[in-house]
Amino acid sequence: MFEETGTTAEGDLVINVGPQHPSTHGVLHLVITLRGETIINVEPHLGYIHRSIEKMCESLSYRQFIYVTSRMDYLSSHINNHACALCVEKGLQVEIPERAKVIRVLMDELTRMASHQLWWGAMAMDVGALTPFFHAFREREVINEIMEETCGARLTMNYMVPGGVMYDLHPNFQQKVKDFIILFKSKIDEYDEMVTGNVIFQNRMKGVGYISKADAVSYGCTGPTARASNVSCDIRKLFPYEIYDKVNFDEVTATGGDCFARYLVRVQEMRMSLSIIEQLIDNIPEGDFQAKTKAVLKLPKGEFYASVETARGEFGVYIISEGGMTPYRIKFRSPGFSNLSALNHMAKGHKIGDLVAIMGSLDLVIPDIDR
Amino acid sequence: MTNDELKIKLGELFPSSAFEEGTEWTTMLAEPVLWKEIALQLRHELVLDFLFCITCVDWKTHLAMVYHLRSTTTQDTVVVKAKLDRENPQIATVSDIWRTAEFHEREAYDLFGVQFIGHPDLRRLFLTDDYEGFPLRKDFEDPVNMIKL
């Protein structure tokens, strides 16, 4: 152990956090080298929930493998399915109906909000405030109920299929989403009032876990983690898919680069998602919700890459096809994996109490990292 | 830049390299021995500062490394591929050029057995240190834990 890190000196302390610890948000094992109370080195040990999804996908058909990806980043499963469906459609060159596009974007943004709500509660809990956690779950429950009516599931939806979406929307969907918009607009101000302005919270977050713009790009950070360092990396803006080029929204960036900037970006993203849903909910076009595809999908020989913006960053699907019914090789570019690689860089020189805040601000979902 | 412009530019920088046709992005085939020099040029000449995906593919006769690179300023995307020997796969590390490669290369080593020359800390990332074999290779067999679907 001492020879491995190479940075340890006499009297340094090596401690393990995890694999089962509330602050790691899953089964993440961190080996931390401490000098006094200061962090010298953080080394993540992964693989505790490695299910070898990439290997499994090689024996699953193009309709089946989408179901596995729901289990990766289970807080934004809609968006993972979306990436896979986009990639298969790119290979098949299928144009999906307008209605399906709007439904997909609506579901994406609802999922993004639900994911950020859970993160917001967990983040506050990480730095010692328990009440926000319950508040966040209360609002997330409303979204989950909306999802449950339409998709039949609350966590792993599997709603998006190659060619569109699986079912049509539930008749109550529109009304319920409208009610939710009214509800959440007041609640998000409450969130701000409760946590953002809090002095203790700000002291725990400001100046902690700083990462510069160049470093964020070099470490491959995407999503709110990178946008807090003023990196423009929103896939919805740069490479618009579905109908994002017809919707008015801004890319949320901040210049702080620390935990507080990452917090502000995510809270602002919730507002942005709300405005996207507001623009679309009254304008869902009539028509089919699914394009006609063959019963057995066969992608032509070649390579296809599609990426979407999940709640954590850029989620990419890279399919190498040999023309058969199953992918020859599939690779998921998960956002958490790259974001985690910057953890050591962010945490060096801080106190061990700050490590929990840094991990919370990265919004790690471990199954997404391990795959 | 469009794909054709990128191709011309890359052709000027690396006269010996070949290109793949009919791909979404400009795809360049690199020799593994030259990969480090090519990577440095791509990073500094074309300012491709964002390495967003490293994939290893087992083609049964050989292994292939696929690097997806993007520039955060111009949004140009370039894909570089390198063929490796299957028995003794070796390629230079790029973890000193793009820091994100450190984790991605450890993953490729863990699941495919690719040796990255000059990597600061090449150990298994997901599996235990005493694990035998490389699970994502096509000829990997594990009669106990593998479920044939």
Q: In Å, what is the CA distance from A310 to each residue of A228, A335, B95?
A: 16, 8, 26
Best mutation target, A303, A308, A321, A343, to test chain B (most B CBs within 10 A): A303
- Asked whether the beta carbons of residue B126 and residue A46 sit closer than 8 angstroms, the reply is yes
Distance from CA of A5 to the nearest CA of B (A): 9
For the purposes of burial, counting CB atoms within 10 Å of the CB of A186, is it exposed (0-12), middle (13-18) or buried (19 or more)? Answer: exposed
What SS3 state is found at A21? strand
pLDDT tens digit sequence for A313-369: 889 899 888 888 888 889 888 888 888 888 888 888 888 888 888 888 888 888 888
Query: Which residue on chain A is closest to B135 by alpha carbon?
Result: A55
Nearest-CA distance A135 → chain B (Å): 36
Q: Return the bridge partners of B142, or none.
A: none
Are the C-beta atoms of residues A215 and A345 closer than 8 Å to each other?
yes
Give pLDDT tens digits for A59-99: 888 888 888 888 888 888 889 899 988 888 888 888 888 88
Interface touch B100/A329, C-beta < 8 Å: no
Phi, psi at A318, each rounded to 5°? -120, 110
Peptide bond into B89 cis (omega under 30): no
Q: What is the pTM of this model?
A: 0.88
Smallest CA–CA distance from A371 into chain B, residue: B126
Q: Give yes or no for A46 touching B (CB within 8 A).
A: yes
Burial of A196 (0-12, 13-18, 19+ CB in 10 A): middle
CA–CA gap between residue A161 and residue A206 (Å, rounded): 42
Distance CA(A253)–CA(B138), nearest Å, equals: 43
Q: Which of A46, A222, A305 is the closest to B125 by Cβ? A: A46
| Closest residue of chain A to B112, computed from CA coordinates | A55
Contact B11, B33 (CB under 8 A): no
* Closest residue to B100, CB basis, from A60, A214, A341: A341
A 171-230 residues with CB < 8 A to B: 214-215, 217-220, 222
A343 touches chain B (CB under 8 A): no
DSSP line for chain B: --HHHHHHHHHHH-TT-EEESS-SSEEEEE-GGGHHHHHHHHHHTS---EEEEEEEEE-SS-EEEEEEEE-TTT--EEEEEEEE-SSS-EEE--TTTSTTHHHHHHHHHHHH--EEET-TT---SSS-TT--S-TTSTT---TTT----
Residues 6+ apart with CB under 8 A from A347: A39, A42, A209, A354, A355, A358
Q: CA A142, CA A173: separation in Å to the nearest integer?
A: 12
Give the residue-averaged pLDDT of B33-46.
85
The number of residues making up chain B comes to: 149
What are the residue ranges in chain A where pLDDT is below 50?
1-5
CB < 8 Å to A367, chain B = none
Chain B residue with Cα closest to A45 = B125
Identify the band that residue B97 occupies on the pLDDT scale cut at 50, 70 and 90: confident
pLDDT band at B52 (very low <50, low <70, confident <90, very high): confident
Phi, psi of A332 (to 5 degrees): -105, 120
Q: What is the DSSP string of A84-126?
A: HHHHHHHHHTPPPPHHHHHHHHHHHHHHHHHHHHHHHHHHHHH
Q: Find chain B residues with C-beta within 8 A of A50's C-beta.
A: 126-127
Q: What is the pLDDT of residue A4?
A: 44
Q: Return d(Cα B28, Cα B9) in angstroms, integer.
A: 12
What value does the CA radius of gyration of chain A take, rounded to a whole number of Å?
A: 21
**Is pLDDT at B17 greater than 80 in this prediction?**
no
Alpha helices in A166-315 (DSSP H): 173-191, 199-205, 213-218, 224-227, 235-238, 259-281
Q: Can you give the pLDDT at residue A299?
A: 85
Q: Cβ contact (<8 Å) for B126 and A47?
A: yes
**Nearest by CB to A52, which of B98, B125, B135?**
B135
Higher pLDDT, B141 or A89: A89
> Please, what's the b/e burial string for B77-91 (b: 16 or more CB within 10 A of its CB; e: otherwise)?
bbbbbbbbebeebeb
CB contacts under 8 A, B 78-97 vs A, are none
Q: Provide the 3-class DSSP secondary structure of residue A80.
A: helix
**Min CA distance, B16 vs chain A (Å)?**
24
Cβ within 8 Å of A, B 20-59: 22-25, 49-53, 55, 57-58
Give the bridge partners for B70, in sequence order: B50, B77
Q: Which residues pair with B68 in a beta bridge?
A: B53, B79
Closest CA to A107 of A175, A177, A185: A177
CB pairs under 8 A between A and B: 83
User: Using CA atoms, how far apart are residues B72 and B51, in angstroms rounded to an integer?
Assistant: 10
In sign, the C-alpha dihedral spanning A162, A164, A168, A174 is positive
pLDDT over threshold 50, residue B82: yes
A174 phi and psi angles, rounded to 5 deg: -60, -50
Cα angle B92, B37, B108 (rounded to 5 degrees) comes to 25
Strand partners, A261: none
Closest Cα in chain A, distance from residue B83 (Å): 16
Of A13-22, A263-272, B78-87, B88-97, the one with minimum mean pLDDT is A13-22
**Domains of chain B by range and CATH?**
3-117 (3.30.460.80)
Question: Which of B67, B103, B131 should we substitute to test contact with A (largest number of A Cβ atoms within 10 Å)?
Answer: B103
Q: Which residue among A217, A239, A316 sits closest to B50, beta carbon to beta carbon?
A: A217
**Element of type H or E holding A337:** helix A335-341
| Mean confidence (pLDDT) of chain B | 84
CB-based contact A233 B103, cutoff 8 Å: no
Matching residue, tokens 């990073």: B43
